[in-house]
Structure 1
Amino acid sequence: MKKLHEDRASAIFERRTTNNDDEMIEVEAAIKAAMSVLDKKGNNMEAAKSAAQEAFAAVRKQKDLPVKLDEFGRDLNIEKQMQMKVRAEARQRKRSQAFNSNKLAYMELDDPKIEGESNTDESDSESQAYQSQRDLVQRAADEIFSEASEEYGQLSFVKRRMEEWKREYSSSYKDAYMSLNLPLVFSPYVRLELLRWDPLHKGLDFQEMKWYKLLFTYGLPEDGKDFVQDDGDADLELVPNLVAKVALPILHYEISHCWDMLGQQETVNAIAATKLIVQQVSHESEALADYNFLILHPQ
């Protein structure tokens, strides 16, 4: 899943770079044409009008690539010209959407989108391809425990077995240092479900996932009348330890390799995910310190 997310981020970056290059070529041609007219005709209204016309014509000319034939007489620039046209149309659609979004935001007195920010430069086809690949990965993950016996194939059964051990044989439970080993026992199940956690592209947080809801109550009796945990019980740190060992490295990787700093929604989601992690993990955690350093010193 990491590779899939990184490939998606790379595709978005490459598309933005290509779009920027296309626009810079048009801008430079327009400026050059306009300056040429102004140098010849001076600084007046008529000259300005002519300069604008020449600039517009120069932009259109940039889109008409010269014929470049290969050995079979095929024009090599036709496909390139078509790709440029598709990218230009996509940029125009995004501008229209951004304009309408800003207009609505102002009308509703919300925070308007800041000029220069971007929701995404991902094309519809790229988004669909990513969704398809992600679904394949998730379906494969769902099959990992399919052939395991029920008591090992589901997190709820494993949790119940550990709780029974703690409740009925507390001495051997402590002698086995199970409080230290529980994150290792549960992490495969947590890691599999966190494949569905996409902190940069989805608002869903892991607090809504089954593993979190199940393990948040680890060791607590359903009726509240069985054994009582004390403040010194190390199992109280089970969920924070899992977040630090499994969820935090995922977010660290996403920020380091996949975060688009110009992506408005990605940044909003990254902030939300960071707040969620900080609420769960001890501030003395080395992993959290490394993550904070990454945020403060982005590459």
Structure 2
Amino acid sequence: MSTSSVFTPLVPPSTATLLEQAYAKTNLDKNNAMAATLRSTLTKSKREKSKATALRTPQEMRSTIIMRLTELRERNDEHNATVARIEAELKSLKLQQNECKQNAPTAAAKYKFYQEIKCYVNDLIDCLAAKSSLINDLEKRALQLYSKNQRYLVNRRRQDVRDQAKEMAEAAKPVLAAARRTPEYEEQVRRAAEREGRRTRRRCERERNYLLATHLDGMSSDDEIADQQQEQCLATKALIETQAAEAFEDVNDDFCKIDLILIKFYAWRKTDMGSYQDAFVSLCLPKLLAPLVRHELLLWSPLLEEYTDIETMHWYQACMLYACQSNESVEQLKQDPDLNLVPSLIEKIVLPKVNSLVAECWDPLSTTQTLRLVGFINRLTREFPLNSSNKQLKKLFETIMERMRLALENDVFIPIFPKQVQEAKGSFFQRQFCSGLKLFRNFLSWQGILADKPLRELAIGALLNRYLLMAMRVCTPNDAISKVSIIVNTLPTVWLLTNSDTLKNLEVFISYIRQTLDNCDATNPLLMQSCDKAKQILQRLHSL
């Protein structure tokens, strides 16, 4: 028997077997370690517990019991306080419940009132919004009517000046027969005939009023309109009035009468002043009433010969008396949220309308229109709290200044002809000089309303020094001193005070007076009165 058949060779274990054995050994070691740690922890805690139990004394036990008792008492007090609070809240809720039951009818009435006022305001806004386009159209047509008439008069006046200047320039030239047959010449002749006819009628009117002796040609305004054109204007105005009256025919009075509208809001104010103020009704009322105020002011203009005072209008009286009480004190009036209702309407409605009328319809060369406008603005600023920082007021003043500048550029024409020194007062030169003098007087009518500095620059720096003074240089001494006297008498008294800034603007004018006085022969009987007058003028100007 061979050796290989008796002994079986040893087979080495595989890698998987070795890994399994290592894993099993590792887990066994971990389990043994964890068991040892757990036994150690349990043993230690038992020792500590037995040690702690063994260390507690009666005093510690008593303290623990007292502490626990205190905690229980505090918790009990908290529970009792909570119960008391809940009982008090229940009593308060019962009182509130009873109070709500008592106030339920009042609250229901207020709710009903607020619902009614809400519906009313919504309907009012819808109504006025629907009518605003018609009011805008009527307002635009009324402004166009006034503007058209004024433009016609201004253009006719300027055309007359051009015609007369042309006649003066061509006076020495013979007019050919062929030139007389041209349409332009015939049209010029027709305009001249109409112009002289209007002057004759104005002269006759002054004779009837005994004003002919004191009148200077060129100081009156040529505002006569042909009968046919006047009838057309009246027809257009009547049509606008008719359409304005029909604008609210289909509307209930509660939605188009300002006094009835304010009654609704006064009921709200009287019912609950707090909610009235919280809703900012005082700020919204001017905007809400604006269409109705504009409707009443459609054909109103302070430039017209006859116009209705604002104080007599329905909207003014209704708004002025709104929330007014007979027993109201001054302090209560100061605290009234609707105190500025009328001034707000003046600022938001009246001033913009006046601004439009000034921009489109005012003729600065018309003394009557200027005095009406000055009087209206004076009264407006005096009776209502409108200060210089008011945006609409500043815009109006800027428009006035711009219109005055345009008049200075387009309406002042004083021709300088060699023979005009010997011409009578009715000459073209004298008429145009008086026209410029009238504009100078109209400019100074704004003293106290417009700022002095720009007004001085316009009236003295531009009109007086540039036009009037140049024309006076070709006048005779007597005529020149007479014109100087009129100019000085036209100047505001406050401008002639000592150390006034106006005297600096008048330096060229004062120099001309001195020069004229030096050239006059004081011994000449024809010039003695003029010399004395010139000295008085210089003394008044603090220059003698």
Q: Percent identity?
A: 23
CA contact (8 A) 2:153 2:222 kept: no
The Cα shift of 1:15 comes to 1.8
Give the equivalent residue in structure 2 for 1:206: 310
Give the equivalent residue in structure 1 for 2:274: 171
> What are structure 2's unaligned runs of at least 5 residues?
1-141, 407-544
Amino acid in the other structure paired with 2:319: L
Worse-matched range after superposition: 115-124 or 2-11? 115-124
Match status 1:270 vs 2:373: yes
CA distance in 1, matches of 2:354, 2:220: 22
- 2:363 is matched with which residue: 223, 247, 260? 260
- 1:235 is matched with which residue: 338, 350, 357? 338
CA distance in 2, matches of 1:9, 1:30: 31
Give the equivalent residue in structure 1 for 2:258: 155
Give the equivalent residue in structure 2 for 1:87: 191
Match status 1:289 vs 2:430: no
C-alpha spacing 1:31/1:211, structure 2 compared with 1 (3 Å): farther
Amino acid in the other structure paired with 1:217: L
Cα displacement string for residues 64-83 of structure 1 (whole angstroms, at most 9, x for unaligned residues) = 8316xxxxxxxxx39x73x5
Amino acid in the other structure paired with 1:185: L
C-alpha spacing 1:114/1:17, structure 2 compared with 1 (3 Å): closer
C-alpha spacing 1:230/1:282, structure 2 compared with 1 (3 Å): same
CA distance in 2, matches of 1:62, 1:266: 44
C-alpha spacing 1:249/1:86, structure 2 compared with 1 (3 Å): same
Give the equivalent residue in structure 1 for 2:299: 196
C-alpha spacing 1:113/1:245, structure 2 compared with 1 (3 Å): farther
The Cα shift of 1:121 comes to 5.3
CA distance in 2, matches of 1:207, 1:177: 26
CA contact (8 A) 1:15 1:122 kept: no
The normalised TM-score by structure 2 is 0.43
> What are structure 1's unaligned runs of at least 5 residues?
34-57, 68-76
Aligned residue for 1:235, secondary structure, equals coil
The Cα shift of 1:294 comes to 2.9
C-alpha spacing 1:124/1:265, structure 2 compared with 1 (3 Å): farther
C-alpha spacing 1:210/1:274, structure 2 compared with 1 (3 Å): same
Amino acid in the other structure paired with 1:145: F
The normalised TM-score by structure 1 is 0.74
CA distance in 2, matches of 1:265, 1:63: 44
- 1:126 is matched with which residue: 220, 225, 229? 229
Give the equivalent residue in structure 1 for 2:163: 22
- 1:66 is matched with which residue: 159, 176, 181? 181
Cα displacement string for residues 170-210 of structure 1 (whole angstroms, at most 9, x for unaligned residues) = 22211111110110121111101111212212342322211
Amino acid in the other structure paired with 2:400: I
RCO (CA 8 Å, sep 6+): is it higher in 1 or 2? Answer: 1
CA distance in 2, matches of 1:289, 1:16: 30
The Cα shift of 1:31 comes to 4.1
C-alpha spacing 1:113/1:295, structure 2 compared with 1 (3 Å): farther
CA distance in 2, matches of 1:108, 1:215: 47
CA contact (8 A) 1:281 1:288 kept: no
Cα displacement string for residues 116-160 of structure 1 (whole angstroms, at most 9, x for unaligned residues) = 441525433333322221221222122221111221022221122
Worse-matched range after superposition: 85-94 or 237-246? 85-94
Aligned residue for 1:202, secondary structure, equals coil
- Give me the CA root mean square deviation: 3.1
CA distance in 2, matches of 1:190, 1:63: 60
C-alpha spacing 1:202/1:232, structure 2 compared with 1 (3 Å): farther
Give the equivalent residue in structure 2 for 1:43: none
Match status 1:244 vs 2:347: yes
Worse-matched range after superposition: 178-187 or 120-129? 120-129
CA distance in 1, matches of 2:178, 2:231: 28
Between Structure 1 and Structure 2, the one with more helix by share is 2
CA distance in 2, matches of 1:19, 1:128: 24
Structure 1 or 2, whichever has the larger Rg, is 2
Q: How many residues are treated as equivalent by the alignment?
A: 259
CA distance in 2, matches of 1:156, 1:124: 40
